Amino acid sequence: MQVRELIVSSFRSLISNKRRSILTMIGIIIGIASVITILSLGDGARIEMLKNLQADSSGQQSTEITFSPSNDAKISGFNNDDLARIRANAKVSKVTVQSDDHGILSSEGTINGKSITASVYLATTANDSEIITGHGIKATDISMDNPVALVSQSIAKKGYRTNRNALNSGIEINGTMYTIVGIINNNAIKGEFYNYDVVVPRHVFENSNATVNANTLKLTFVSGTNISKATTDIKDQLNKIGSQHASGSYEFFDTAAMLKGITAVIKGITYFIVAVASISLFIAGIGVMNMMYIAVSERTQEIGIRMAVGASQKQILWQFLIEAVMLTLSGGMIGYLAGLGIAMGISAFLPFKASVSLSTFLLAFGTSTVVGLVFGILPAKTASNKNLIDILR
């Protein structure tokens, strides 16, 4: 018999015993559905965790380097030279300094549609120092959380060409829009820190930027960068030639390494549960074997007739083996679809979506095929080893 004829014959044999075939397939369906559900939910949880802790919506990844002074002195660990050196790194797409010690940080923003990176001083009291035009930030602005700002001459000219045009216009800092009420000197300096370009009320800024940390350099990398290695290289560079390398140390907590450990634990738990669920596949395989033995016993005359008309033992073996594989493969594909449906339904009530990948399909396909081959081979051999003379008697 040709392969096509063997497949058609096997299919007809299964169809002729629909009820028995369906009942036998139920075990396979339950086993595969359980495995696919667990894997899809486990992968979904792992991917969501990685996305939330390590990358933003565009796929860019962020890390943080902190500066720890060697004594209690209020020293800011990063200056303009440090930022310029790091921004020259092709792997870095964005650098933001958070320096709570002096109330000054580096922030991204826009003025009249033009992007800027400004050193922002967070004022906690009325501030009218270095004013050239307009007025300073008043005590009422601080107490009432008015979104007002002072900007340097260079920032004002970049956005509005003249100081006068800039007054009472807007500047956006880290997503918050402020009204410019005064222009300050370009050389305004606060404490031991570097020049600042913008002054805003601290409370207004912190209300919209709750994640501000002290003496922290936040780095955002382009997609595909090995962030652990890149951040470690930058940290080592800062510890050698950073502006405050002699007054403290620059440190980096490798979240990527931590995430690898967490994902390894999640994978281990997922695979353990999958192994437990796979027990049902073993039980289902025994059911397939039992069904095939019954089929061999019931079709003894059919086997004899096939042998009498020239069918070889190999053809008889493949006949029954294909039946077993078709049975388990059909159950596997139904179980795969059922597992995906269950996983999607469950994930609708969870804060993450189930992950569907080609690997889960290949797992369902491969497992179903292997179960059919393993538990169908003995009944198939029994059928092929029957003696024609004994059958005819």
Q: What is the pLDDT of residues 322-333, one digit of tens each?
A: 888 888 888 889
**Whether pLDDT at 211 is above 80:** no
What residues contact 357, with CB distance under 8 A and at least 6 apart?
Answer: 43
C-alpha 60/C-alpha 219 separation (Å) is 10
Sign of the torsion formed by the C-alpha atoms of 186, 192, 194 and 200: negative
Tell me which DSSP letter residue 249 carries: E
**Whether pLDDT at 391 is above 70:** no
Cβ(112)–Cβ(159) under 8 Å? yes
Residue 2 binned pLDDT confidence (cut-offs 50, 70, 90): low
Helix-, strand-, coil-residue percentages of the chain, each rounded to 5: 55, 20, 25
Cβ(383)–Cβ(319) under 8 Å? yes
The larger pLDDT score, comparing residue 6 to residue 25, is at 25
Parallel, antiparallel, or unpaired for β 104-111 and 114-123?
antiparallel
The larger pLDDT score, comparing residue 360 to residue 76, is at 360
Q: What percent of the chain has pLDDT over 70?
A: 85
Q: Which residue has the tokens 């100081």?
A: 163
Give phi and psi for 121, each to the nearest 5: -95, 125
| Closest among 255, 312, 290 to 378, alpha carbons compared | 290
Among 53-57, 79-83, 208-212, 296-300, which is the least confidently predicted range? 53-57
Average pLDDT score over residue span 151-173: 92
Given strand 61-69, what is the order of strands in its sheet?
A: 92-98, 216-221, 61-69, 248-252
**Whether pLDDT at 256 is above 90:** no
64 forms bridges with which residues in the sheet?
Answer: 218
Helix (H, G, I), strand (E, B) or coil at 373: helix
Cβ(82)–Cβ(65) under 8 Å? no
- What's the chain's average pLDDT? 80
Over residues 117-150, the pLDDT tens digits come to: 787 888 888 888 788 889 999 999 988 889 999 9
Distances (CA, A) of 208 to 175, 202, 211: 8, 10, 9
| Closest among 9, 5, 1 to 323, alpha carbons compared | 9
Over residues 265-310, the pLDDT tens digits come to: 777 877 787 777 778 888 888 888 888 888 888 878 877 877 777 7
Residue 169 binned pLDDT confidence (cut-offs 50, 70, 90): very high
Q: What percent of the chain has pLDDT over 90?
A: 13
What residues contact 234, with CB distance under 8 A and at least 6 apart?
Answer: 65, 86, 89, 92, 219
What per-residue confidence (pLDDT) applies to 246? 83
Over residues 349-374, the pLDDT tens digits come to: 887 888 888 888 888 888 888 888 88
Give phi and psi for 144, each to the nearest 5: -100, 5
For residue 300, how many other CB atoms are within 10 A of its CB? 13
What are the boundaries of each domain within the chain? 3-52+261-392, 61-249
**Whether pLDDT at 54 is above 70:** no
Residue 259 binned pLDDT confidence (cut-offs 50, 70, 90): low
What per-residue confidence (pLDDT) applies to 209? 63
